[in-house]
Chain A
Amino acid sequence: MKIVLLVLLLVVTPAMLHAQPGYIEVTASGNRQLRLAIDPPHQLGSPATVAAAKLASDVIAYDMNMSGVITAEVRSQLPNPRALSLLDIDFAPWLRTGSDLLVSGEFSLKDGRLTIEFRLFDVINRKLLTSKRYLGTAKELRRFSHSFSDEILRVITGEKGAFTTRIAYVSTQTGNKEIYIMDWDGYNPANLTKNGSINLNPDYSPDGREIIFTSYKHGNPDLYRRSLTHPAEVAVSSRKGLNITGSWSPDGSKIALSLSKDGDAEIYTLEKDGSHPVRLTVNPALDLYPTWSPDGKQLAFVSDRLGKPQIFIMNADGGNVRRLTTTGNYNVNPRWSPKGDKIAYSRMTDGGFNIFTIATDGSSDTQLTTEGNNENPSWSADGRFICFSSKRSSGNGVYVMRADGTGQTNMTQGKGVYFQPSWSLQ
């Protein structure tokens, strides 16, 4: 991890490295992560730190600590009374506490209108690395703070974060399986479907504005599509039998799914309006749960053609089918990583389900969870995290972990049982 970080730093900030070799020593030591101090943003015209400032700082600190790249700590510091400008920071107190990076900023909040500016400094080199200014409503404070977290990771690692994305999931808190969405960290949960039927397997459109899902609301398991902002649920596929496990193609033009209109579950692609079905699998076995490679050229899916459910990969035209998982006798729920190199899936053993990742060539099969029942992994857009549903003694819910299995955290607090989380790409 440290070496990777160093390489990224070499790529991203070569000028800085040449100028200040001291900075490299800190990051190259391999003994610790970068330390980020967050000075809660100051309210313009007010000497006091208020709730909004604490909220913004807490959001950024949480995101950074979950990233595993940076250790963040919120620490208040009075504004420098001798400062000539907002960029004139007294770095001495931050240096004394061993901080490598500093986030500070200012905001104004008036009649519900919010203006906030965040800045990221390199403490050791006393240098402004980036700044962002956001204009909006008070309700958007969390989103703006997540957005600056994305920016911090972009500057430090070269790849932006995905902290402004959301997770759709199924929950039984009303007594029925309905579809909900929430921020990646569990905030702002919202109930989307309210039809009292069985609703399953939400999947986001690539632009994050719509979801597809399967619902029994008209008796048969049909596939529906709906916008996140409008409640109309449009039937995409209500063919005879199963219309399940829909998965939006990376370019948003097609939907891969499993249809059983031919007598057994087979993988098809449809146009996103449900027209022009193209059958990809021809096998008396059950074929379901397709997931696209990020370039849209391949699909991984579940099939029991060899007796037990295993994960296979095929070309997007159905050709060149090959088996991916060879260990374990019940492997399901494949989800292709956004970088394209790995597939997350869940494996059932005697002890229940656990999440694994495997390289697309079948190597590096790695178990990431060990406690309880863990199913339906889904990647964050930046590939840094995997969310999944978990039933474990420490609490049921939608969990998020880093892609290496560390940092497993329950992001949900509500009652009921949680299923089938799906992470948006935007």
Chain B
Amino acid sequence: MKKSMVALLAVVSMVALLAGGCASNSEAVKKDTASVPAAAAPVAEKVVEPAKPVQPVETVKPAEQTRPAESVKEEAVSNKVAKPAEAQPAAPAAEINFETVYFDFDKSDLRQDARDVLSKNAETILKSLAGAKIKIEGHCDERGSAEYNLALGERRAISVQKYLTTLGVKGDSLSIISYGKEKPAVVGSDEAAWAKNRRAEFVLVK
């Protein structure tokens, strides 16, 4: 996992150039981000702490003045950038443009905001990560049975995988795994936490 992060960060200088081109999509992304209630922010901050240097990339996007700090947290959490800053001093602008996709309770179909996010992720893959292997991780919130959620998380990952292939991403570059409710992104037992845990994440596989 850590190694794949290094690989990700290595690609990032290219991605940073791309950031401007993604600006058109970032509106929709922002909407999704803003819909996540602020209550979960303290937890997110804790996870993200070592990755503060990612901030510069975020400032490339327009409209950051709405909730800039929180957007960074949300994005960093979703991409699991937990790499200590000192490991990558040369690339402070490190950021991957994989966004996390969120789902409704007990659902695996893709909401409009999820489709917007996936369009952006597909663009990233097609432009910058040709030939790379990407794993889609399906997750659930803490409600529901652990076993049913393993199957539901897989269904979410598959639904993401299928949509990406319709956008032109090669099927054989995508693998899936479900963690059910075993790896929550956020600890908590309210709708704010649940909404952040019903998700599909992207991980670059080395």
Known: A241-B154, A265-B154, A286-B155. A221 touches B178 (CB 8 A): yes
- Indicate if the CB atoms of A375 and B154 lie closer than 8 Å: no
- A332 and B147 form a contact (CB under 8 A): yes
B24 to chain A, nearest CB (A): 34
Q: Are A348 and B145 in contact (CB under 8 A)?
A: yes
* One of A45-53, A106-114, A256-264 contacting the partner: A256-264
Query: If the complex has contacts A220-B177, A242-B151, are A263 and B144 also in contact, measured as CB distance less than 8 A?
Result: no
B97 to chain A, nearest CB (A): 25
B177 lies within 8 A of A333 (CB): no
* Interchain CB contact under 8 A, A201 and B147: yes
Shortest Cβ gap from B188 to chain A (Å): 15
Assess whether B150 is in contact with A221, with CB atoms less than 8 Å apart.
Answer: yes
Whether A348 pairs with B154 at a CB distance below 8 angstroms is no
Tell whether A420 pairs with B146 under 8 Å between CB atoms, given A242-B178, A260-B151, A286-B152: yes
Residues on the A chain within 8 Å of B152, using CB: 286
Q: How far is the CB of A306 from chain B (nearest CB, A)?
A: 13
A57 interface residue per 8 A CB criterion: no
Answer whether residue A289 sits at the interface, using C-beta atoms and an 8 A cutoff: yes
Residues 98 to 147 of chain B near chain A (Cβ within 8 Å): 106, 143-147
| Contact B143 A302, beta carbon cutoff 8 Å | no
CA distance A187 to B152 in the complex (A): 36
- Residue B182 is within 8 A (CB to CB) of chain A in the complex: yes
Interface residues of A in 248-291 (CB under 8 A from B): 258, 260, 263-265, 286, 288-289
Which B residues are in CB contact (< 8 Å) with A242?
150-151, 154, 178
A393 to chain B, nearest CB (A): 14
**Does A289 contact B154, Cβ atoms closer than 8 Å?**
no
Query: Does A205 sit at the interface, judged by CB under 8 A?
Result: no
Restricting to B160-206, which residues have a CB under 8 Å from any CB of A? 176-179, 182-183
Interchain CB contact under 8 A, A348 and B144: yes
Contact B158 A346 (CB under 8 A): no
Is there contact, CB below 8 Å, between A302 and B148?
yes
Q: Are B182 and A346 in contact (CB under 8 A)?
A: no
Closest CB in chain A relative to B182 CB, distance in Å: 5
**Number of chain B residues whose Cβ lies closer than 8 Å to a Cβ of chain A:** 19
A304 to B151, CA, bound (A): 11
**Given A242-B178, A263-B158, A286-B152, A333:B147 Cβ within 8 A:** yes
In the complex, what residue of chain B is closest to A389 when comparing beta carbons?
A: B146
User: A220-B177, A264-B155 are known contacts. Are A244 and B150 too (CB-CB below 8 A)?
Assistant: yes
Contact B148 A198 (CB under 8 A): no
Q: B145: which of A198, A220, A260, A333 is its contact (CB, 8 Å)?
A: A333
Give bound CA distance, A221 to B178, whole Å. 8
Separation of A154 and B102 alpha carbons in the complex (Å)? 56
* Pairwise interchain contact B145-A375, C-beta atoms closer than 8 A: yes
Q: Which residue of B lies closest to A308 (CB)?
A: B106
Q: Which residues of chain A are near B176, meaning CB under 8 Å?
A: 241
What is the CA–CA distance of A288 and B143 in the complex, to the nearest angstrom?
17
Q: Residue on B with the closest CB to A241?
A: B154
**CA of A220 to CA of B150, assembled, Å:** 12
CA gap between A177 and B179 in the complex, in Å:
13
Instruction: Name the B residues within 8 Å of A265 (CB-CB).
Output: 150-151, 154
Pick the contact of A200: B106, B143, B144, B146 (CB < 8 A).
B146
Counting CB contacts under 8 A, is A419 at the interface? yes
A332 and B106 alpha carbons, distance in the complex (Å): 14
Q: Which residue of B lies closest to A245 (CB)?
A: B147
| Interface residue from B147, B158, B183 paired with A288 (Cβ < 8 Å) | B147
User: Which residues on A sit within 8 Å (CB–CB) of B177?
Assistant: 219-221
Query: How far, in Å, is A245 (CB) from chain B's closest CB?
Result: 5
- When distances are taken between beta carbons in the complex, the residues of chain A under 8 Å from B143 are 348
CB distance from B98 to the nearest CB of A (A): 20
Contacts known (A220-B177, A348-B143, A348-B145); A198 close to B151, Cβ less than 8 A: no
Q: How far is the CA of A304 from the CA of B177 in the complex (A)?
A: 20
Do A332 and B155 touch (CB < 8 A)? no
Q: How many angstroms from the CA of A302 to the CA of B178 in the assembled complex?
A: 18
Q: How far is the CA of A244 from the CA of B148 in the complex (A)?
A: 10
- Tell whether A330 is near chain B: CB-to-CB under 8 Å: yes
Q: Given that A177-B182, A198-B182, A221-B178 are contacting pairs, would A332 and B145 also be in contact in the complex, using a CB cutoff of 8 Å?
A: yes
**A338 close to B (CB within 8 Å):** no
Docked-complex contact A330 and B144, CB < 8 angstroms = yes
Binary per-residue interface labels of chain A (294-317) against chain B in the complex, 1 for a CB within 8 Å, 0 otherwise? 000000001010001100000000
Q: Knowing A264-B155, A265-B154, A286-B155 touch, does A309 contact B148 (C-beta < 8 A)?
A: yes
Please list the 5 inter-chain residue pairs (A to B) with the smallest Cβ-Cβ separation, ordered nearest first. Answer: A265-B151, A286-B151, A332-B145, A198-B182, A245-B147
Binding site for A on B (CB under 8 A): 106, 143-148, 150-152, 154-155, 158, 176-179, 182-183
A sample of 18 more A-B contacts (CB under 8 A), given A265-B151, A288-B150, A333-B147, is A198-B183, A200-B146, A200-B147, A216-B182, A241-B176, A258-B147, A258-B151, A265-B154, A286-B151, A286-B155, A288-B147, A289-B147, A330-B144, A332-B148, A348-B145, A353-B145, A375-B146, A419-B146
Between A and B, 9 residue pairs with Cβ closer than 8 Å are A177-B182, A201-B147, A221-B178, A265-B151, A286-B148, A286-B151, A348-B144, A353-B145, A375-B145
